[in-house]
A and B are shown apart, each in its own frame.
Chain A
Amino acid sequence: MADEDDIILAELSDDALVEQMMDDLYDGMKDEIEEGVHILLDRGWVPYDILTKALVAGMTIVGHDFRDGILFVPEVLLSANAMKAGMAILKPLLAETGAPRMGKMVIGTVKGDIHDIGKNLVAMMMEGAGFEVVDMGINNPVEAYLEALEREQPDILGMSALLTTTMPYMKVVIDAMIAQGIRDDYVVLVGGAPLNEEFGRAIGADAYCRDAAVAVETAKVHVARKHNQMRAG
């Protein structure tokens, strides 16, 4: 597609380039995102600014349109893929520059459930929002959750289930956390197609998240609240 209107990223001003990167992220254009990240680094941008002002800002728009039923899973997967490519460049640099952390999440699909589309989306969108994500994969028994919490010391535990036959297992995990006296050490977010808010409340989760975009927003709110509580306490 060598159109006459082809956009040369390197010729754009910083502001125009960031705008363009947000569009390219929306369109899931991985190569263009990588190129944009490199250009901004060459222009002396600090990695954290590239992450927040271009990538996270772009993914927020994707998230909103996903939440509003304008974009669907295939498009979001492409966007997340482009985001991931940009993140891969930034990740080592963020660590070197001591950029602030958003928070950490351990996430996994519960025992018996092999569905991971929704969980993967949440993981990608959380990474897109700057969270560190440890993905436990599918079919996790309660022991695996407890072990991961102990090992990773995250801020958030995310559980996913796509089947009505597997969703009650979330309560098994939460009950085990209560029994060990660690329930309140974590923010527990649950999601999956058959769930709803009432179910989330009934099993003792902090929140039910309707989709990946809502998960990100909810995570931000809860982590901020948790940090405030720690400061106050």
Chain B
Amino acid sequence: MTDALSDLLATRDWVLADGATGTTLFNMGLSSGDAPELWNADAPEKIRALYSGAVEAGSDLFLSNTFGANASRLKLHGAQSRVQELNRLGAALGRDVADASGRKVIVAGSVGPTGEIMAPMGSLTHEIAVEMFHEQAEGLKAGGADLLWVETISAPEEYRAAAEAAARAQMPWCGTMSFDTAGRTMMGVTSSDLAQMVGRLANPPLAFGANCGVGASDLLRTVLGFAATGTRLPIIAKGNAGIPKYVDGHIHYDGTPDLMAEYAVLARDSGARIIGGCCGTQPAHLRAMRAALETRAPGPPPTLALIEGTLGGFSSARDGTEADGSGPQPRRGRNAGRRRRDG
């Protein structure tokens, strides 16, 4: 099966993805608490501006403004009946911008988490999760998205549900998790857990990786963890532009374009082929990242010390992938071993 991303990766060493959606829309006047996805219908010119910002800065791929456009998230805004419409509009605006760019630009249909805890711990069943993602996928497909971009996932169960939904919609897909808790996802998934899970999926993604999380340093340690498993799939790195700070009533990320340029080069050296930013990454950052990737020669994978020295410290000393078992271990009660994490 051919798809736009695989075609691009066949001819290029790296692909520049986009930056922040939420941060950018916030700067355009989105109020705290409003659903950004409603703007796909109510303020399409702003969504075009969001997409154009990334494309003009040199992104080869950008995400649609549909992160929270699933039934569970839209329900909060009384818009759960508009899943299909808002996804279709979000993707169609992207298609327009991409096609008008005069070069090959990929529209990735953003699919964020449901925000619910999956069974058996929570109430969301696999079947309902698949249905929710599938409904969103069909909207994105109808709007002309090239592929699905599942992101910021923390539970393996939810990642698997998204994979199944992509198969149902017959859409190629990519999937990233957010490693924000001592180098793991909130649900305890390590970088090697994800790499191994991806290898076992009936419908594997075109590429997998990490987005958001804590800072650029942590994200690169995660990328090194993916690469260490020897995975053959392309690796995605979408890290935040530094750390959020509160300035004059809004959130400002402290990472400079220069810092994100260093991050992009280190991401490539770490083994990532699809490189972008997440929260706080503006067009100026993307430009600097593109220039650095184009002009700087690839190097060997960086050491953790080099990453720390260039981008700042890690949020935790370890990330759960320590092979020698020297990392912290849970207490072993009488039930130990019965309930192991299913990466």
Interface positions of A (Cβ within 8 A of B): 1, 5, 7, 20, 23-24, 26-29, 61, 65, 68-75, 77-78, 110-117, 138-139, 163-169, 171-172, 193-196, 198-199, 202-203
A-B contact pairs, 22 of them (CB 8 A): A24-B334, A24-B335, A26-B331, A27-B339, A65-B330, A68-B328, A69-B320, A72-B181, A72-B184, A73-B154, A73-B187, A77-B117, A78-B339, A163-B22, A164-B26, A164-B251, A165-B26, A168-B32, A168-B246, A195-B244, A199-B245, A199-B246
A75 contacts B244, C-beta separation under 8 Å = no
CB of B186 closer than 8 Å to a CB of A:
yes
Known: A117-B117, A164-B22, A164-B26. A171 touches B328 (CB 8 A): no
B245 contacts A27, C-beta separation under 8 Å = no
B328 contacts A70, C-beta separation under 8 Å = yes
Nearest Cβ distance between residue B272 and chain A, in whole angstroms? 22
Nearest residue (CB) in B for A121 is B186
Residues of chain A lying within 8 A (CB to CB) of residue B318:
69
CB of B106 closer than 8 Å to a CB of A:
no
- Chain B 78-115 interface 0/1 with A at a Cβ cutoff of 8 Å (1 = within): 00000000000000000000000000000000000001
Which residues of B (1-47) have their CB < 8 Å from a CB of A? 22-23, 25-26, 30, 32-36
Known: A77-B121, A196-B244. A112 touches B251 (CB 8 A): no
Residues of chain A lying within 8 A (CB to CB) of residue B23:
164
Known: A139-B76, A196-B244. A166 touches B180 (CB 8 A): no
Q: How many residues of B contact A (CB 8 A)?
A: 50
Question: For chain B, what secondary structure do more than half of its interface residues adopt (helix, strand, loop), or is it mixed?
Answer: loop
CB of B243 closer than 8 Å to a CB of A:
yes
A112 contacts B32, C-beta separation under 8 Å = yes
Known: A27-B334, A139-B76, A203-B246. A165 touches B182 (CB 8 A): no
Nearest residue (CB) in A for B185 is A72
Query: Please, how many angstroms separate the alpha-carbon atoms of A138 and B316 in the complex?
Result: 30
Which residues of B (146-189) have their CB < 8 Å from a CB of A? 154, 180-188
